[in-house]
Amino acid sequence: MKIAHYTIVILLLSLIGSLLQSQTSIHVPQDSSGTTAYCEIFHLAPSDSLIRLSSSPLVEGSDSVVVNGEATLTRGEEYRVDAAEGSITLYLGRGRFSSLSNDSVRIEVFYRDAGQLLREVYRLRRIEPVQGRSVDTSAGIVGAASAFKMEDVIGPSLRKSGSLFRGFSVGSNRDLSLQSGFRLQLDGKITDDMKIVAALSDENSPIQPEGTTQQLQELDRVFIQLSSGEHSATLGDFVLERAAPHARTFGKMSRKVQGARGVLSLASISGGGVNGEIFGAAATNRGKYHTNYFQGVEGTQGPFRLTGKNGERQIIIVAGTEKVYLNGEEMLRGETNDFIIDYAGGEVFFTGNRLITNASRITVDFEYTDRSYSRNLLAGSASVAILDQRARVSAFALRESDDRESPIELSLNDDLRQVLERGGADRLRASVSGVRFVGIDSLSGLGRGQYARIDTTVEGQQVSLYRFLPGSALALYAVTFSAVSQVPEDSIGYRRVKIGHFEVAGKGQGEYLPIQLLPLPSQHDFLDIAFDGKVSAALSVEGELALSRQNLNTFSSRSDVHRKGAGYSYRIHLDPTEIEALETQLGQVSASYSERFVEEKFLPPDRYNDIEFDRKWDSFESPTGDETIREVAATYKPAEGLGVQIGYGSLQRENVLGSKRWHGSLTVAETSMPKIVYAYEAISSTDARSAAGARWTRQSGRSTYDFWHLRPGIRFEHEKRLASGQSSRPSASKGFRIFEISPSLETRETGRLKAMAEFGFRSEDSTIGGDLRRALAAFTQRYMLQVREWNDFSGTLALNLRRTEFTSEFRNRGNTDTDIMLVRVDSRFTPLDRALTTDLYYEFANHRSASFERVFVRVPTGIGNYRYRGDLNGNGIADENEFELTRFDGEYIVISVPGDQLVPVVDLKASIRIRLNVARLLGSTDGLLAEATKALSTETYLRVDEKSADPDASNIYLLKLSSFQQEGLSLRGGDQVTQDVHLFESSPDFSLRFRYDARRGFLKLVASSERSRLLERSLRLRWQPIREVGNQTDLVLKSDRAISSVPSLRNRDLDAVSLLTDFFYRPEREWEIGLKAGFSSTEDRFGGRNVTANLNTQGIRLVYAFLGRGQLRIELDREEVGLARGTQESSGLFPFEFTGGRDVGKTYLLQVGIDYRLNQNLQLMAQYLGRSERRDVINHSARVEARAFF
């Protein structure tokens, strides 16, 4: 019977395909906990916020909500779940919902049903008595065959989870395509002495994780790691990292790679005779290591755009490789921490927890890929202990190289190879012209290109300029422009207006040239030998010798591509040692001496200098050269909690710079006394080329004291730099003086309450005419308050205020006073036994932002949601107005690309949600009025977003709505007012919902701006007179207006009324029959069109549930669109929203889908969609998929 049953199911799967349905429920038991895993899919209107699940109650914390197959919502912030009732309420307009379009939203809900946690009988095997041939008082017991379990294949000692799926898609207007995926996680022992940890997948996911959380979810990480004792091997994705104590000064590195590595313990091999290890790795690099430095901008939290080694902007940051430092302190990633990062865009933003000013020093280490060549890595190391384990010698070798035979986004022919050979290390020499003559189109008489060449004279030099003139008879050239770090003084530079549109910037100006830069394949070799050992119990010594060799262009044999260098360092260290005199303990003393030398062209694989090396030695803007650093330091601790440190150092950069540094510090950490930290530095630097010098002194201190539940504190900072002579370094000739003092008060950990307040007073003096004069004064306030579940209230407040005022003398030099405010409020208040729930969110910050441009990217048919109508204006460019939304068979998706120009803006996000449940409020109150009122519940939602360049920021943060969405100031804005009134909201028999939803929006693009306005009033009636029959009816009145500053297919002025009713009949538990009918009338009055579209729809559906195993669903829909007046019958003349993308005429849709679980580990799905539009040829598309769970 089972075989026949499975055969019928498989035959059905071979005949039916794609299912597009309002709700799909998939039941997938995944473990032995007794709970069932569910995945339910809903297609909701943008205004729907309530989802009712088919099973309840839910296992607490098992829910996960995914929007449009991409974004996973955050519980508590973007939705809430009622586990007992099995319902989910979406917070529309907040978080990811704020950026969704008005189209239907696909919601996937994953959860576990807690209703099956308790069973009547618990057993592993069923026992059966066996009758013997002779009469006996005892009965034999045999075990029945147990069901198949994955433990029978993988083994009981391994923990595992994962899935495997195989499928195919086919259609009458698309080719057959195969889909497959495999993910498996393993952890445990495979033998008594060998462990395995693995994450396996055959899916190549290009999705970068979001850089908004502290922990990253890397979906594409695949690896197998085996370990046995001290031996280990890894195959797949891993981080190749060398850090202390295994690496010294030069040998430190960290790379994300894909390949193989192994570690072999010499002690295990030799039976303990030799202590050491051998390491080897061969892999493909995920990216290149680089460092960017930024000086903070007053009142700007970001973005700080990361660039490659040659100033490239088109780079992708390898997720998780970034290290961000602010004023020498490493920051923590996350929206509630210090910074967030956009990996695809290469942009870093600081949160309100870190106020960025013009004194902020920002350093970012990261790995990036520019998709030029495949990049390989070979690494090996060996270490061994000698001299009776008192010393250790190690060696490390590394090669990182681009595979010049494997370019990624460029096809190299012999001509291009010769260009690279001649170019050497000069990127501009290793380039070809970006200008290509394409001539005239013989049919139209217009140029096939977009640019016209203009020959002219600039400053007496004959030059050729290229002007953007698409659709002109002069547009005979197609021109490719490349970004350069500096336009040569004798060349004409260009600036980007928008994608594909460049204009002349001037001689030696701009950021682009009409050339195509060829990527230079490089190779880097590195060798490091290190030694460390103990001379005595307290005295240790360590040393290191390193060599590096670079080839900046492996195609070229020119001498300028080769760079060799060497470096060495050694350090002698005295560990803390007790000293005494006359049998009196005088405390502990420790000391160290170190020396480091590096040649000018020496390059280790990673950072080897301090984060603020230039600040430490006052070596800003100094040319490179052979460099020697010597440092000596001593620490004395006369008592526990008390320490004094002094030190001296010198830096000599051959024929360039000399610097001497004195430093000292005092630390008091006695528990009964105030904690004190004081530091002093003095740096004296001399420019060897000009004999100019400078003396820089710095002092800083901090003190805190704990008493009761409070911690008062104070910190100060003082710097003074005096310069003499005119240095060849611009910054070295500047003198300044800084003083800052900041008292603070914070609460110690008290459980429910945490608070902090700090006030900072800062003054800066700068040099004018050789004298230091007051330049500015700044006053900074920082407040933080966190309340956790106190009297039904939870919330956080973070507020930063800063006022900077320049003196009149410096104001006349172009400086302006600034006021900065950063605030973030997130709170929830649930009084009256949760009868009232209030969620408040408010965030205001200062950023820089660019206008965006829509770019259409081609994808496989059916994946996209746009189609290209052709070159309607004949300019040879695929303009935005030539793409239109489509319901089916879309071939393009749209992405937003930021422009080059950043402008200061203020960014506001605010929302409030108020939910009132009268039944909870009245409780057990009796009376006719009380009983009638208990049926009432309401939900109010207000939201406003604004990103504006308004010079008066108070207009924005004080919510002066008349200043929002202003042409010329706003870059993006939106507001929403939604009011829901419910009657009997939770009743399955009868419920009524009235909704008022009003939205406005504004968007500034590179070449245009758009405004939109939507007003919707709707009434939803749900009733179920008997258990088998139910109905949902929606009446919607909608006004939808949008206008662009340029001609656009999205321009519309729609007024619509629609009525949709849906009946269902469930004669048996397994069966459901549904009938639906709808009518809508939409009038478009934009531009004098005055045309009305009438839509009527009818549909029937049949649903059969394989109880506990799956579902079969069949739907047949008929749609008819008619125009009230006989204009040209083509929906292409009207906006997509006019008919919802439907063609004029009749459309028939047949949707069939089945999902079936063969057993707890195997599930089959099939989906089919057939459609006939305007009596054209019937289009078919189908998808079949089998999925196994482990």
pLDDT in tens, 575-619: 998 888 877 788 899 999 999 999 999 999 999 999 999 999 988
In b/e form, how buried is each residue of 658-679, taking b as 16+ CB within 10 angstroms? bbbbebebebeeeeeeebbbbb
Confidence (pLDDT) at 925: 66
Q: What is the mean pLDDT of residues 195-199?
A: 85
Q: What pLDDT, in 10s, does the model give residues 417-468?
A: 999 998 888 888 999 999 999 988 888 788 888 899 998 888 778 888 999 9
Closest listed residue to residue 821, CA positions, set 951, 957, 947: 957
In a domain, 1120, yes or no: no
- CA 80 → CA 65, 382, 477, 834, 1006, distances in Å? 10, 55, 57, 14, 38
In a domain, 766, yes or no: no
In a domain, 306, yes or no: yes
Q: In sequence order, what are the beta bridge partners of 1173?
A: 1147
Question: What sign does the CA torsion over 1134, 1138, 1144, 1150 have?
Answer: positive
CA angle 844, 845, 850 (to 5 degrees): 120
pTM equals 0.80
The answer to whether residue 9 scores a pLDDT higher than 70 is no
pLDDT band at residue 1131 under the 50/70/90 scheme: very low
The DSSP annotation for 110-143 comes to: EEEEGGGS--S---SS-EEEE--SS--S--EEEE
The answer to whether residue 78 scores a pLDDT higher than 70 is yes
Long-range pairs, 328-336, Cβ under 8 A, ≥24: 328/361, 328/610, 328/611, 328/612, 328/615, 332/214, 333/211, 333/212, 333/213, 333/214, 334/212, 334/213, 334/214, 335/212, 335/213
pLDDT band at residue 2 under the 50/70/90 scheme: very low
Residue 554 sits in the same domain as residue 475: no
In a domain, 79, yes or no: yes
Residue 268 sits in the same domain as residue 375: yes
Residue 532 sits in the same domain as residue 607: yes
In a domain, 388, yes or no: yes
Distance CA 1179, CA 171 (A): 7
pLDDT band at residue 144 under the 50/70/90 scheme: very low
Q: What is the mean pLDDT of residues 671-681?
A: 89
The DSSP annotation for 207-264 comes to: PPPPBTSSS---TT--EEEEEETTEEEEEEEEEEEE-TTT--SSS-EEEEEEEEEEEE
Q: What is the mean pLDDT of residues 273-295?
A: 89
| Tokens coding 125 | 């095997």
Distance CA 827, CA 93 (A): 17
Residue 393 sits in the same domain as residue 509: no
Closest listed residue to residue 677, CA positions, set 694, 665, 689: 665
Q: What pLDDT, in 10s, does the model give residues 636-675?
A: 999 888 999 999 999 999 888 899 999 999 999 877 788 9
- CA 582 → CA 577, 578, 585, 635, 806, distances in Å? 17, 13, 9, 22, 61
Whether 650 and 636 have beta carbons less than 8 Å apart is answered as no
CB neighbours (10 Å) of residue 268?
14
The answer to whether residue 22 scores a pLDDT higher than 70 is no
In a domain, 256, yes or no: yes
The answer to whether residue 139 scores a pLDDT higher than 70 is no
pLDDT band at residue 3 under the 50/70/90 scheme: very low
The answer to whether residue 145 scores a pLDDT higher than 60 is no
Confidence (pLDDT) at 200: 76
Domain boundary among 501, 517, 533: 517
The answer to whether residue 103 scores a pLDDT higher than 80 is no
Distance CA 398, CA 282 (A): 10
Rg (CA), the chain: 35
Confidence (pLDDT) at 791: 85
Domain boundary among 517, 533, 559: 517
The answer to whether residue 878 scores a pLDDT higher than 90 is no
Q: What is the mean pLDDT of residues 206-220?
A: 69
Number of structural domains, the chain? Answer: 4
Residue 543 belongs to domain spanning = 230-286+371-411+524-587+598-611
Residue 350 sits in the same domain as residue 393: no
In a domain, 147, yes or no: no
Q: Report the CATH number at residue 102.
A: 2.60.40.740
Closest listed residue to residue 523, CA positions, set 502, 491, 553, 547: 553
| Tokens coding 86 | 């099995």
Confidence (pLDDT) at 662: 96
pLDDT, the chain, mean: 84
Q: What are phi and psi of 97, to 5 degrees?
A: -70, -25
Residue 296 sits in the same domain as residue 273: no
Confidence (pLDDT) at 886: 86
In a domain, 1049, yes or no: no
Distance CA 322, CA 316 (A): 12
Confidence (pLDDT) at 6: 34
Structure-derived torsion over alpha carbons of residues 1157, 1163, 1164, 1170, reported in degrees to the nearest 10? 90
More confident residue, 217 or 1158: 1158
pLDDT band at residue 620 under the 50/70/90 scheme: confident
Closest listed residue to residue 649, CA positions, set 593, 576, 699, 710: 593
**Burial degree of 1169 (CB within 10 A; 0-12, 13-18, 19+):** buried
Confidence (pLDDT) at 207: 62
Q: In sequence order, what are the beta bridge partners of 584?
A: 581
Residue 438 sits in the same domain as residue 492: yes
Distance CA 950, CA 962 (A): 12
| Tokens coding 532 | 């460390």
Residue 38 sits in the same domain as residue 49: yes
Residue 273 sits in the same domain as residue 293: no
Residue 262 sits in the same domain as residue 379: yes
The answer to whether residue 47 scores a pLDDT higher than 70 is no
The answer to whether residue 24 scores a pLDDT higher than 70 is no
Confidence (pLDDT) at 377: 94
Whether 549 and 524 have beta carbons less than 8 Å apart is answered as yes
Whether 930 and 919 have beta carbons less than 8 Å apart is answered as no
pLDDT band at residue 36 under the 50/70/90 scheme: low
Q: What is the mean pLDDT of residues 1009-1031?
A: 92
**Burial degree of 229 (CB within 10 A; 0-12, 13-18, 19+):** exposed
The answer to whether residue 208 scores a pLDDT higher than 60 is yes
More confident residue, 170 or 30: 170
Domain boundary among 95, 116, 137: 116
Confidence (pLDDT) at 729: 56
- What's the one-letter identity of residue 1069? R
The answer to whether residue 85 scores a pLDDT higher than 90 is no
Place of tokens 């909608």: 1038
The answer to whether residue 93 scores a pLDDT higher than 70 is no
Q: Which residues contact 477 (CB under 8 A, 6 or more apart)?
A: 435, 436, 437, 438, 447, 449, 450, 451, 452, 453, 466
Residue 100 sits in the same domain as residue 246: no
Confidence (pLDDT) at 871: 76
Confidence (pLDDT) at 903: 86
Q: Which helix (H) or strand (E) holds 1152?
A: strand 1145-1159
Distance CA 755, CA 382 (A): 52
Residue 300 sits in the same domain as residue 350: yes
The answer to whether residue 298 scores a pLDDT higher than 50 is yes
Whether 825 and 377 have beta carbons less than 8 Å apart is answered as no
Question: 3-class SS at 1138?
Answer: helix
Distance CA 1000, CA 998 (A): 7
Q: What pLDDT, in 10s, does the model give residues 740-773?
A: 999 999 998 667 888 999 999 999 998 887 788 8
CA angle 1039, 1040, 1044 (to 5 degrees): 145
The answer to whether residue 313 scores a pLDDT higher than 90 is no
The answer to whether residue 1008 scores a pLDDT higher than 90 is no
The DSSP annotation for 23-55 comes to: EEEEEE--SSSS-EEEEEEEEE-TT--EEE-SS
Whether 784 and 798 have beta carbons less than 8 Å apart is answered as yes
Confidence (pLDDT) at 718: 95
Tell me how many helices (H) and strands (E) the chain has: 11, 70
Tell me what percent of the residues of the chain surpass a pLDDT of 90. Answer: 36
